[in-house]
Amino acid sequence: MAGIETIAVLGGGAWGTALALSAARAGRSVTLWARDPALVAEIRSRQTNRAYLPGVTFDEPLTATCDIADAANADAILLVTPAQTTRAVLTPLAGLLRPGTPVVLCSKGIEKGTGNLLTDTLAEVLPQAHPSVLSGPSFAADVARGLPTAVTVAARDGAMADALAQALASASFRPYASSDLIGTQVGGALKNVLAIACGAVAGRKLGASAQAALTARGFAELTRLGLAMGARPETLTGLSGLGDLVLSCSSTQSRNFSFGHKLGEGRTAEDLLNSGEKLAEGVFSAEIAVELGERHGVDLPVCKVVSDVIAARLTIDEALNRLMSRPLRREAGA
């Protein structure tokens, strides 16, 4: 397999910019596509992205463009826009992408309306692409600053996953290759929903014991759904599953945890969404995760209460009562 030298990153937000910087540090030639001409101008003139990565000056030069056609000929494309925009962002590449080009989905979510994992959407829009996923415990601000990070990079074909890991690896960024596309995506999508639940527990001041219990029971949900959908157990206990769950369920740096924290303090989801809160993917994935669970015959009680709280069908206290009054059961057979 030929080496991956040129990389196009689609998405000029926090994670897209951080991954572009990280790939440049790894020695790749990187083009960042963003839809906002003002941001592209800022990157070209100042090598900064002050709105999404305040305080970070790029240590490696990035080429920026507003024309998505400039991305089509790269050896690999990283898609890093919000999960619900995946279809719209990929569609213009349909007639441009060379067969076999790896498209690495770096967003974490499930497509509303279809219940698709993002690789299913990719297969519908760009069937010629080689489907790949990057996920794991990694805050954009940490990666942008070159703090040590490890992630999972999965591709349909293990040799492609190895090539992508090789291309993205640097002294501070360590990808582990995998061929489990399903497991890698289920972990990233569900941890966002579960982080909202843990944030709400913290915001409602229910205690560290409750937060740990919810993290563990959340992991049981993530595992049940992942296995029912065909994930490998070792992926679910790896970086993109348990690793990312632990990070997001314990840190106020997580936007999903932070969103939940504000719910716990009494704000409503509608109010938060209307007041320009930062992107919290779990808000959009919660309901569809519950639907996926129903489709696969899997019970997801924590995701269900998160979905109900977001839709204002339940208060935080009612959610707690619902979880605590469920019939007792054996832990292993849950």
Ligand X SMILES: NC(=O)c1ccc[n+]([C@@H]2O[C@H](COP(=O)([O-])OP(=O)(O)OC[C@H]3O[C@@H](n4cnc5c(N)ncnc54)[C@H](O)[C@@H]3O)[C@@H](O)[C@H]2O)c1
Is residue 1 within 8 Å of residue 157, measured between CB atoms? no
Write the interaction track for ligand X spanning residues 14-33; mark x where CB under 6 A is met and - where it is not: xxx-----------------
Identity (one letter) of the amino acid at 178? S
Sheet holding 102-105, edge to edge: 63-65, 29-33, 6-10, 76-79, 102-105, 130-135, 149-155, 173-178
Strand partners, 152: 135, 176
Nearer to ligand G3P, 184 or 256 (CB): 256
CA 76 from chain centre, in angstroms, equals 19
Distance (Å, rounded) from C-alpha 12 to C-alpha 111?
21
CB atoms within 10 A of CB 10: 26
CB atoms within 10 A of CB 146: 17
Q: Which of 140, 145, 9 is nearest to 64 (CA)?
A: 9
As to burial, measured by CB atoms within 10 angstroms (0-12 exposed, 13-18 middle, 19+ buried), residue 101 is buried
Distance (Å, rounded) from C-alpha 67 to C-alpha 19?
19
Nearer to ligand X, 36 or 294 (CB): 36
Identity (one letter) of the amino acid at 77? I
Instruction: Give the residue closest to ligand X by C-beta.
Output: 13
Residue 80 site contact among ligand G3P, ligand X, none (CB < 5 to 8 Å, cut-off depends on kind): ligand X
**DSSP label at residue 63:** E
**With binding defined as CB under 6 A, does residue 108 bind ligand G3P?**
yes
Site for ligand G3P in 51-90 (CB under 6 A): none
Residue ranges for the known binding site for NADPH are 15, 35, 52, 108, 140, 255, 279, 281
Write the interaction track for ligand X spanning residues 270-289; mark x where CB under 6 A is met and - where it is not: ---------x-x--------
Nearer to ligand G3P, 76 or 249 (CB): 249
Distance (Å, rounded) from C-alpha 209 to C-alpha 255?
22
**With binding defined as CB under 6 A, does residue 138 bind ligand G3P?**
yes
Distance (Å, rounded) from C-alpha 194 to C-alpha 212?
12
Question: Where in the sequence numbering do the catalytic residues fall?
Answer: 191
Q: Which of 6, 35, 60, 123 binds ligand X (CB under 6 A)?
A: 35
Residue ranges for the known binding site for sn-glycerol 3-phosphate are 108, 136, 138, 191, 244, 254-256
Write the interaction track for ligand G3P spanning residues 261-300; mark x where CB under 6 A is met and - where it is not: --------------------x-------------------
How open is the CA angle 251-252-256, to the nearest 5 degrees?
90
**With binding defined as CB under 6 A, does residue 11 bind ligand X?**
yes
**With binding defined as CB under 6 A, does residue 83 bind ligand X?**
yes
Site for ligand X in 99-158 (CB under 6 A): 106-109, 138-140
Instruction: Give the SS3 label for residue 235.
Output: helix
Residue 254 site contact among ligand X, ligand G3P, none (CB < 5 to 8 Å, cut-off depends on kind): ligand G3P
Tokens 């995946």 belong to which residue? Answer: 86
Q: Which of 270, 265, 139 is nearest to 202 (CA)?
A: 265
Nearer to ligand X, 185 or 319 (CB): 185
Q: Which of 8, 25, 30, 52 binds ligand X (CB under 6 A)?
A: 52
Residue 35 site contact among ligand G3P, ligand X, none (CB < 5 to 8 Å, cut-off depends on kind): ligand X
Q: Which of 139, 173, 219, 284 binds ligand G3P (CB under 6 A)?
A: 139
Nearer to ligand G3P, 137 or 218 (CB): 137
Task: Considering only the stretches 75-83, 125-133, 158-166, 302-310, report the one whose residues sit in contact with ligand X under the rule CB under 6 A.
Answer: 75-83
Binding residues for ligand X, rule: CB under 6 A, are 11-16, 34-36, 52, 80-83, 85, 88-89, 106-109, 138-140, 279, 281
